[in-house]
């Protein structure tokens, strides 16, 4: 028996194919119940597009040409100097000459300070945040608080998604139409896909695809990167080997009700690109997944996450992110801190985590396990 | 003036005839097409195929020498590129491409990284010419590139060119680049010259000369130029004796380089060159890419090599074997997992794969290298698939459709009255002028309808179940695997291969006398061997007609077994 065994197959037709021995590699059929494997083709914040424009009644946050005026004036620059700075700063070819001025605009004890490393070294600019009633997501705490949203598709109340509240009035993070994802998340996800191993989801132990009270849902990191098809989408049907590092094995208990797969809350570790965020550490995470007739899957993840990590996901880009993506970084910092809604610090009482929802799109894939790495897996 | 520009000028000067080592390509082609009146003139010139060019450079200078540029497209004639090579020329624009490649190869061979491997001598002064060292290098390289020893005049001109360049550029190795590039764009290199010679004074039995024999053997069995041993055998006269030829043939059949020769033959026979430019409607088939096409070509060749060489099996088994090789990309077309161990953590390599007993995925005809190649960009074509099978596998000629055929019914895949292509073809075939040909192509093509235009499995078309049953020449089958078995057992399958191999070997279609020999002797011996490829190659290379050519015009002959077209 070869050390490689198959645990996840795309569909019944595929199961028939792989349950035989290849002539140099032995494979065995999946464990009891059917398994389905998926390659995640989109994994980033789920941003609701309010077609009636109720989300940001105060407007969209302005770009750098506005907030840099404020910031530079705050550190004593004259109007002529500010105009000169802005003229040069927004010319990308001269950005590096003027960037130190905005980078060191923080003040601690009167001394210039790196505002990105110390975002509280400037006053809170109070960026606009979402005030509308709707958001994708989950009722993570089981309560229907006044600050919660309503799920636009189901009408469910008590939706916890404060990350959406903080970010969706920022032009580059909000979607520009109901059918497309927001520009900056799209860019970040593209980076992750191009440079990092693929993200896999496996649903196994399926006895009944419509109603099954006991399935296993796993999120893995692959050893290989995903590849694009000829239309720029993710190439479905590829085979991926699971990274044997157990750190990237997230195994969840789940169920299927009327064809919808849900999982019970638990913590998840998902590796991404160090440029974006080295590792997502979701707490009380849960999934809701729908498998379409064509075999593709769409769904969402709801969870809490350390809010400072989200500040730094953008803050690491410093003035480049500020200038090109319309993100007032100290403003983002203060908003995240203000709207964080979970895991209070025992000493300060301040919340350290923020609720969020992620959109998941996936295409069918083969997921191949190594025996050793899957030993002891509860089935 | 930069060094590279000066080298370019020197090379251009060489091309213009300052180093007069051969006639320009166009003139050579004109000469070949003119009346051949001299017994020492070539019987035919064959332009190197892309694969041959690449193999030669890799064999002589190493696989790490990069070849960039656009080759002149190979020509197919009577089902084979090898036959078309005898009619291929190089137009002026193409010559510029070969010149660019020549300069690039020459520069790499003589750069600091590689020169020590190829220039055995050390120049007295690297900043000046050294005739003795240049002569040694150019003689060695020239013999391998021209597939014969250089004549004194040729070598003298090249050495003089090296001297002029080296002294001008003040660089011995840069000086060598010019004559090497000159050779690499010479018709003596780019075309295979086969020179006729009397066979022991027998005016009825003309052959190609010894060095031409070496090339014919080498390009046939290795798809590359002769090695030093083979050239030595030519020089020593060994190739003018049956015993000497047999010794060299055995050596070549036992060489790992035989695989390159076998791959080249089947690449040619099954028209896999067309995969390079094969396009699909990626809106409908986003999985398809040029990577898939390249993998499909390689998959078919690996499958064939596994059967006929690695397993030393029955040639006909290439149509029924359940064993093949897949990449992760091909796995997406097949819808199967590629479970092989990751090489370095990234399993992008080839994995052996065996389909289960009873699976309709059997043999090379049910691979994307055939299914996708003989389909339209957005839909399958049982007619194209059937025609290709008849022509390339069974050597049967299927006429082209007349020009005034109405294809509307066949092309409309959305007509609810004709959900499957079988129904559409039946409607189309009600036109009398179409019926005859479709009868011989469509039943076998319809057997492959479970596989879409890129070769992925489908059970239904437009929601309607697909009927894959049919007959071929009186043999019934129910699906693609049944068709594959019928092809395996079809008498034309083996005889077609024998004829194709012979045509490929001698670069022309067999004469009437040769066809009789192929049927009565080679074909029977092939069957007796268990349809194994290596004995067939041996049989053909050792046949007395393998090196035979027609006498020069004006020389009277008895013309016994050889028709006038032989050797042209």
**CB-based contact (8 Å) between A22 and chain B?**
yes
How close A20 gets to chain B, by Cα (Å)?
A: 6
Q: What ipTM, to 2 d.p.? A: 0.77
Q: Is residue A47 in some structural domain?
A: yes
> Which of A13, A230, A368 lies at the smallest CB-CB distance from B335?
A13
> Which of B287, B337, B352 lies at the smallest CB-CB distance from A368?
B337
Q: Is A117 helix (H, G, I), strand (E, B) or coil?
A: coil
d(CA A41, CA A48): 19
CB contact under 8 A, A22 and B331: no
Residues A343 and A300 in one domain: yes
Count of Cβ atoms closer than 10 Å to residue A303 Cβ: 28
Using CA coordinates, name the residue in chain A closest to B330.
A238
d(CA B86, CA B219): 14
Instruction: Please report the pLDDT score of residue A21 as a whole number.
Output: 21
Burial of B417 (0-12, 13-18, 19+ CB in 10 A): exposed
Chain A residues in contact with B353 by the CB 8 A cut-off are 22-23
**In this model, does residue B38 exceed pLDDT 70?**
no
How close A258 gets to chain B, by Cα (Å)?
A: 25
Tokens of A336: 């995240």
More confident residue, A4 or B499: B499
How close A192 gets to chain B, by Cα (Å)?
A: 18
Chain A residues in contact with B285 by the CB 8 A cut-off are 230
B355-368 average pLDDT score: 91
Residues A114 and A159 in one domain: no
Number of Cα atoms under 13 Å in the Cβ half of residue B543 = 21
**CB-based contact (8 Å) between A117 and chain B?**
no
Instruction: Please report the pLDDT score of residue A50 as a whole number.
Output: 92
CB contact under 8 A, B348 and A241: no
Instruction: Please report the pLDDT score of residue A86 as a whole number.
Output: 79
Least confident of B142-151, B188-197, B431-440, B454-463: B431-440
Using CA coordinates, name the residue in chain A closest to B280.
A230
**CB-based contact (8 Å) between B355 and chain A?**
yes
**CB-based contact (8 Å) between A200 and chain B?**
no
Chain A residues in contact with B356 by the CB 8 A cut-off are 16-17, 20
CB contact under 8 A, A22 and B351: yes
Torsion of CA B286, B291, B293, B294, to 10 degrees: 180
CB contact under 8 A, A229 and B286: yes
The structural domain count of chain A equals: 2
Q: What confidence tens digit (pLDDT) does each residue in B8-17 have?
A: 544 444 444 4
**In this model, does residue B55 exceed pLDDT 70?**
yes
Return the number of CB contacts < 8 Å for A and B: 101
CB contact under 8 A, B332 and A237: yes
**CB-based contact (8 Å) between A184 and chain B?**
no
Chain A residues in contact with B354 by the CB 8 A cut-off are 20-23
d(CA A333, CA A317): 14
**CB-based contact (8 Å) between A223 and chain B?**
yes
Residues A117 and A139 in one domain: no
How close A189 gets to chain B, by Cα (Å)?
A: 21
Residues A83 and A226 in one domain: no
Q: Is residue A73 in some structural domain?
A: yes
Question: Mean of the per-residue pLDDT values for chain B?
Answer: 86
Q: Is B301 helix (H, G, I), strand (E, B) or coil?
A: helix
d(CA B371, CA B389): 10
Residue B31: pLDDT band by 50, 70, 90 thresholds?
Answer: very low
d(CA B419, CA B413): 7
Q: Is residue A92 in some structural domain?
A: yes
Residues A267 and A221 in one domain: yes
Q: Is A47 helix (H, G, I), strand (E, B) or coil?
A: coil
Contact B444, B389 (CB under 8 A): yes
Q: Is residue A329 in some structural domain?
A: no
Instruction: Please report the pLDDT score of residue A43 as a whole number.
Output: 94
**CB-based contact (8 Å) between B344 and chain A?**
no
**In this model, does residue B267 exceed pLDDT 90?**
yes
β-bridge pairing A249-257 and A212-221: antiparallel
Tokens of A312: 């730094």
CB contact under 8 A, B332 and A236: yes
Residue B324: pLDDT band by 50, 70, 90 thresholds?
Answer: very high
Burial of B451 (0-12, 13-18, 19+ CB in 10 A): buried
Domain interval for residue A72: 64-121
Instruction: Please report the pLDDT score of residue B450 as a whole number.
Output: 95
Chain A interface test: which of B283, B293, B336, B359 (most A C-beta within 10 Å): B336
Q: What confidence tens digit (pLDDT) does each residue in A96-128 have?
A: 777 888 899 999 999 999 999 999 999 999 999
> Which of A9, A18, A238 lies at the smallest CB-CB distance from B328?
A238
**CB-based contact (8 Å) between B332 and chain A?**
yes
How close A242 gets to chain B, by Cα (Å)?
A: 10
Residue B36: pLDDT band by 50, 70, 90 thresholds?
Answer: very low
Residues A302 and A157 in one domain: yes
**CB-based contact (8 Å) between B325 and chain A?**
no
Q: What is the pLDDT along chain A (379 residues), one digit of tens a residue?
A: 333 333 333 333 333 333 222 222 222 333 468 999 999 999 999 999 999 999 999 999 998 888 888 888 888 889 998 888 877 766 767 777 778 888 999 999 999 999 999 999 999 999 999 999 999 999 999 999 988 999 999 999 999 999 999 999 999 999 999 989 999 999 999 988 888 999 999 999 999 999 999 999 999 999 999 999 999 889 999 999 999 999 999 999 999 999 999 999 999 999 988 777 889 999 999 999 999 988 999 999 999 999 999 999 999 989 888 888 889 999 999 999 999 999 999 999 999 999 999 999 999 999 998 753 332 222 2
Q: Is residue A12 in some structural domain?
A: no
> Which of A6, A20, A238 lies at the smallest CB-CB distance from B331?
A238
Chain A residues in contact with B331 by the CB 8 A cut-off are 237-239, 366
Residues A360 and A231 in one domain: yes
Instruction: Please report the pLDDT score of residue B554 as a whole number.
Output: 64
**In this model, does residue B425 exceed pLDDT 80?**
no
Residues A180 and A294 in one domain: yes
**CB-based contact (8 Å) between B289 and chain A?**
yes
> Which of B289, B331, B339 lies at the smallest CB-CB distance from A25?
B339
> Which of A4, A223, A229 lies at the smallest CB-CB distance from B339?
A4
**In this model, does residue B341 exceed pLDDT 70?**
no
> Which of B282, B328, B336 lies at the smallest CB-CB distance from A231?
B282
Residues A238 and A304 in one domain: yes
**CB-based contact (8 Å) between A4 and chain B?**
yes
Q: What confidence tens digit (pLDDT) does each residue in B56-79 have?
A: 999 999 999 999 888 888 888 888
Residues 30-49 of B with CB under 8 A from A: none
Q: Is residue A16 in some structural domain?
A: no
Contact A36, A364 (CB under 8 A): yes
Residue B42: pLDDT band by 50, 70, 90 thresholds?
Answer: low
d(CA B80, CA B488): 22
Chain B residues in contact with A235 by the CB 8 A cut-off are 286-287, 329, 332
């Amino acid at each position: 028996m070869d050390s490689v065994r198959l645990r996840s197959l795309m569909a019944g037709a595929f199961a028939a194919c792989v349950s035989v021995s290849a002539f140099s590699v032995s494979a065995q059929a999946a464990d009891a119940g059917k398994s389905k494997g998926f390659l995640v083709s989109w994994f980033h914040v789920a941003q609701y597009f309010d077609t009636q424009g109720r989300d940001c009644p105060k407007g969209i946050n302005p770009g750098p040409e506005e907030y840099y005026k404020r910031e530079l004036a705050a550190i004593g620059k004259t109007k002529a100097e500010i105009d000169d700075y802005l003229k040069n700063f927004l010319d990308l070819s001269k950005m590096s000459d003027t960037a130190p001025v905005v980078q060191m605009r923080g003040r601690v004890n009167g001394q210039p300070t790196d505002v990105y490393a110390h975002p509280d070294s400037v006053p809170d600019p109070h960026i606009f945040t979402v005030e509308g009633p709707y958001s994708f997501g989950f009722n993570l705490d089981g309560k229907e608080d006044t600050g919660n949203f309503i799920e636009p598709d189901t009408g469910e109340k008590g939706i916890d998604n404060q990350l959406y509240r903080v970010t969706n009035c920022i032009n580059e993070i909000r979607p520009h139409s109901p059918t497309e994802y927001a520009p900056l998340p799209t860019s970040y996800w593209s980076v992750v896909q191009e440079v990092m191993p693929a993200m896999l989801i496996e649903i196994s132990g399926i006895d009944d695809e419509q109603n099954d009270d006991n399935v296993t849902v796993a999120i893995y990191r692959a050893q290989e990167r995903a590849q694009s098809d000829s239309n720029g989408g993710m190439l479905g049907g590829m085979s991926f080997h699971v990274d044997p590092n157990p750190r990237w094995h997230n195994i969840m208990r789940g169920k299927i009700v009327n064809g919808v797969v849900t999982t019970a809350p638990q913590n998840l570790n998902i590796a991404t690109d160090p440029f974006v965020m080295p590792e997502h550490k979701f707490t009380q995470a849960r999934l809701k997944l729908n498998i379409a007739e064509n075999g593709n899957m769409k769904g969402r993840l709801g969870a809490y996450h350390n809010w400072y990590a989200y500040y730094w996901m953008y803050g690491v880009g410093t003035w480049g992110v500020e200038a090109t993506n319309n993100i007032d970084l100290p403003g983002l910092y203060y908003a995240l801190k203000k709207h964080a809604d979970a895991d209070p610090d025992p000493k300060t009482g301040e919340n350290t985590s923020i609720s969020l929802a992620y959109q998941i799109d996936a295409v069918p894939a083969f997921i191949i396990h190594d025996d050793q790495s899957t030993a002891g897996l509860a089935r | 003036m930069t060094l590279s520009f000066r080298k370019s000028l020197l090379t251009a000067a060489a091309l213009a005839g300052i180093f007069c080592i051969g006639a320009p390509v166009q003139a050579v082609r004109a000469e070949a097409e003119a009346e051949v009146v001299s017994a020492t003139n070539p019987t035919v010139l064959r332009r190197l195929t892309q694969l041959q060019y690449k193999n030669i450079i890799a064999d002589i200078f190493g696989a790490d020498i990069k070849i960039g540029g656009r080759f002149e497209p190979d020509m197919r004639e009577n089902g084979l590129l090898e036959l078309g090579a005898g009619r291929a020329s190089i137009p002026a624009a193409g010559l510029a491409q070969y010149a660019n490649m020549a300069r690039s190869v020459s520069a790499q061979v003589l750069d600091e990284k590689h020169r020590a491997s190829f220039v055995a001598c050390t120049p007295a002064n690297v900043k000046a010419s050294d005739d003795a060292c240049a002569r040694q290098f150019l003689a060695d390289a020239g013999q391998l590139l021209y597939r014969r020893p250089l004549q004194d005049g040729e070598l003298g001109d090249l050495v003089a060119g090296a001297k002029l360049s080296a002294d001008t550029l003040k660089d011995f190795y840069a000086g060598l680049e010019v004559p090497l590039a000159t050779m690499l764009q010479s018709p003596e290199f780019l075309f295979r010259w086969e020179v006729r010679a009397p066979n022991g004074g027998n005016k009825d039995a003309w052959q190609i000369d010894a060095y031409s024999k070496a090339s014919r053997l080498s390009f046939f069995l290795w798809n590359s130029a002769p090695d030093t041993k083979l050239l030595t055998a030519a020089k020593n006269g060994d190739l003018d004796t049956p015993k000497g030829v047999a010794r060299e043939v055995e050596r070549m059949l036992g060489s790992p380089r035989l695989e390159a020769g076998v791959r080249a033959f089947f690449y040619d026979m099954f028209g896999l060159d067309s995969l390079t430019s094969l396009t699909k409607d990626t809106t409908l088939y986003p999985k398809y890419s040029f990577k898939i096409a390249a993998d499909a070509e390689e998959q078919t060749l690996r499958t064939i090599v596994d059967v006929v060489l690695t397993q030393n099996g029955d040639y006909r088994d290439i149509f029924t074997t359940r064993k093949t090789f897949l990449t992760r990309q091909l796995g997406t077309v097949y819808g199967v997992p590629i479970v092989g161990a990751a090489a370095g953590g990234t399993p992008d390599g080839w994995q052996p794969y065996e389909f289960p007993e009873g699976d309709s995925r059997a043999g090379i005809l049910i691979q994307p290298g055939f299914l996708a190649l003989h389909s339209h960009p957005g839909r399958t074509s049982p007619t194209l698939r059937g025609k290709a099978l008849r022509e390339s596998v069974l050597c049967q000629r299927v006429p082209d459709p007349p020009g005034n055929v109405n294809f509307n019914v066949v092309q409309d895949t959305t007509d609810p009255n004709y959900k499957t292509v079988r129904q559409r073809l039946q409607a189309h075939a009600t036109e009398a002028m179409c019926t005859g040909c479709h009868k011989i192509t469509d039943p076998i093509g319809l057997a492959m309808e479970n596989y879409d235009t890129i070769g992925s499995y489908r059970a239904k078309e437009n929601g309607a179940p697909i009927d894959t049953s049919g007959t071929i020449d009186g043999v019934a089958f129910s699906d693609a695997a049944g068709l594959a078995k019928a092809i395996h057992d079809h008498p034309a399958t083996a005889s077609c291969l024998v004829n194709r191999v012979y045509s490929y070997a001698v670069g022309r279609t067999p004469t009437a006398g040769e066809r009789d020999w192929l049927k009565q002797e080679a074909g029977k011996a092939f069957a007796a061997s268990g349809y194994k490829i290596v004995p067939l190659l041996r049989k053909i290379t050792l046949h007395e007609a393998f090196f035979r050519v027609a006498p020069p015009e004006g020389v009277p002959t008895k013309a016994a077994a050889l028709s006038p077209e032989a050797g042209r």
